[in-house]
Amino acid sequence: MSAIAATATRTVARDRAVAAVDTRAIAMKRRGRGRGIRTGISAAVIVLWCLAPFYWMIVTAFRDVGYTYDTAFWPTHVTFDNFTTAFSTQLGNHLGKALLNSLFIGVCVTAIALIIGIFAAYALARLDFRFKGILLGVILGASMFPGVALITPLFQLFTNIGWMGSYQALILPSISFVLPLTVYTLTSFFREMPWDLEEAARIDGCTQAQAFRKIILPLAAPAVFTTAILAFISSWNEYLISSQLSSDATQPVTVAIASFAGSQPHQEPYTTVMAAGTIVTIPLVILVLIFQRRIVAGLTAGGVKG
């Protein structure tokens, strides 16, 4: 997950490249058709490779359960039953509730990580202090720890304080990997901010806090928003820890899907699982499309002013 941080950070550089891209576009037009065709084919291969399994998930989601292993490429035995079944609570599945749980947990984790992370990121990006190196090391190292090792000690802790199966028992561990990601991403964003403006505001009589709130935060809003999306997605996708620490009432959607029950013991309802997978993935895909534009727009705005 930590690597997401790097993407976001790296995308900071993108705005700097906007000018370069423009030059490139002109250069491109001058080039031969041969390369254009090769690029086209390569692009087609990439799209096919990335979308084919996703397509198969959707096709299967619309297929009658009795024909689960039909291998026709196009939709056959089309039915909406799997979606109805996915949301039905009759077999003890609670996909609807799980979606709300994931949303709630994701929003809480993102909010907490952002609020706390902004302060740390500000300090790391802006202030000069001792142990800064250690701090960066600890935060990076935090995202290095194998998740399996967290589960049982946390379980004992949560059992002792009566938190088992509660929302906070799911929110806290998620913070263990979302917070480092947030701090890291924000630090990189903050390093890029036009701090001269803050200095100027202070000369005009603002305190450092005021300067930060009135000048820097509005400028940083797109960066914070981008970080928020990354944080939300990584919390939404978390599985291992939630699978152990959630109860039926607080179960997030990844766990709900992995433990989807069929009408019979031993029966794995693949068509329903694929339907549920489609339901879970579609919002993310939409989010990601928006997130892409957001990042470019946000960074360009910051870049022009900086």
Partner 1 sequence: MHVSRVSVIVVGMALMGATLVGCSSGGGSGSGGGDAANNLDGVGPITYVQGKDNSNVVRPIIDKWNAAHPDQVVTFKEQSDQADQQHDDLVQHFQAKDANYDVVDVDVVWTAEFAAKGWLQPLKDSLAVDTSLLLKPTIATATYNNTLYAAPQTSDGGLLYYRKDLVPTPPTTWADMMKDCSIATQNGIGCYAGQYAKYEGLTVNVSEAINTAGGSIVGTDGKTPTLNTPQAKAGLQNLVDAYKNGNIPADAITYQEEQGRTAFEAGQLLFMRNWPYVYNLAKTDGSSTVKDTFGVAPLPGMTGVGASTLGGHNAAISVYSAHKKTAHDFLAFLESSDTQSFFLSQGSLAPVLSSLYDDTSLQAKFPYLSTLKASISSAVPRPVTPFYPAVTKAVQDNAYAAIKGDKTVDQALTDMQAAIQTASTGN
Partner 2 sequence: MSTATEVVGAPAGVPRAPRTGAKKKRRGETRVAIYLVAPTLILLAVVIGYPVVSAIIMSFQKDAGLDPATGLFVAGGFAGISNYAHWILQQCLDTSGNTISCPPGNLGSQFWNATGVTFFFAVVTVALETAFGVWMAIIMNRTFRGRGLVRAAILVPWAIPTAVTAKLWFFIFATSGIANALLQTQILWTSDEWASRFAIIIADTWKTTPFMALLILAGLQIIPEDVYEAAKMDGATTFQQFWRITLPLIRPALMVAVLFRILDALRIYDLPAILTGGGGGTGNATTTLSILVVDQIRQGFNSASALSTITFIIIFIVAFIFVRVLGTNVVRTQQAQQKGAAK
Of residues 140 through 159, those in contact with partner 1 by CB under 8 A are 140-142, 144-145, 153, 155-157, 159
Q: Going by C-beta distance under 8 Å and a sequence separation of 6 or more, which residues neighbour residue 192?
A: 12, 223, 302, 306
Cα–Cα nearest to 12, from 193, 214, 178, 181:
193
* Interface of this chain with partner 2, residues 252 to 291, rule: CB under 8 A: 253-255, 257-258, 270, 273-274, 277, 280-281, 284-285, 287-289
* Interface of this chain with partner 2, residues 36 to 65, rule: CB under 8 A: 36, 39-40, 42-43, 46-47, 49-51, 53-54, 56-57, 60
> For the chain, first and last CA: distance in Å?
29
Nearer to partner 2, 49 or 218 (CB): 49
The answer for 78, left when phi > 0, alpha when psi is -120 to 50, beta otherwise, is beta
Nearer to partner 1, 64 or 210 (CB): 64
Long-range CB pairs of 107-113 (<8 Å, 24+ gap) are 107/232, 108/167, 108/171, 109/171, 109/174, 109/175, 109/178, 109/231, 109/232, 109/235, 110/178, 110/228, 110/231, 110/232, 110/235, 112/171, 112/175, 112/179, 113/175, 113/178, 113/179, 113/181, 113/182, 113/231
* Interface of this chain with partner 2, residues 66 to 105, rule: CB under 8 A: 69, 71
* Interface of this chain with partner 1, residues 34 to 73, rule: CB under 8 A: 64-70
Under the criterion CB under 8 A, does residue 12 sit at the interface with partner 2?
Answer: yes
Nearer to partner 2, 13 or 78 (CB): 13
Under the criterion CB under 8 A, does residue 255 sit at the interface with partner 1?
Answer: yes
Nearer to partner 1, 39 or 267 (CB): 267
R_g of the chain, CA atoms, integer Å: 23
* Interface of this chain with partner 2, residues 115 to 144, rule: CB under 8 A: 116-117, 119-120, 122-124, 127-136, 138-140, 142, 144
Query: Which of the 8 DSSP states describes residue 164?
Result: T
* Interface of this chain with partner 1, residues 68 to 97, rule: CB under 8 A: 68-70, 77, 90-93
What are the two backbone dihedrals, phi and then psi, of residue 221, each rounded to the nearest 5 degrees? -50, -50
Nearest-approach distance from CB 215 to partner 1, in angstroms: 31
Q: Which of the listed partners (partner 2, partner 1, none) does 21 bind, with a CB threshold of 5 to 8 Å by partner kind?
A: partner 2
* Contact yes or no for 218/198 (Cβ under 8 A): no
Nearest-approach distance from CB 7 to partner 2, in angstroms: 5
Determine the 3-state secondary structure of 90 from DSSP.
Answer: coil
Under the criterion CB under 8 A, does residue 150 sit at the interface with partner 2?
Answer: yes
Distances (CA, A) of 241 to 22, 152, 284: 45, 10, 21
Q: Which of the listed partners (partner 2, partner 1, none) does 57 bind, with a CB threshold of 5 to 8 Å by partner kind?
A: partner 2
Name the site residues for partner 1 (rule: CB under 8 A).
Answer: 64-70, 77, 90-93, 133-134, 136-138, 140-142, 144-145, 153, 155-157, 159-160, 164, 243-244, 248, 251, 255, 258-268
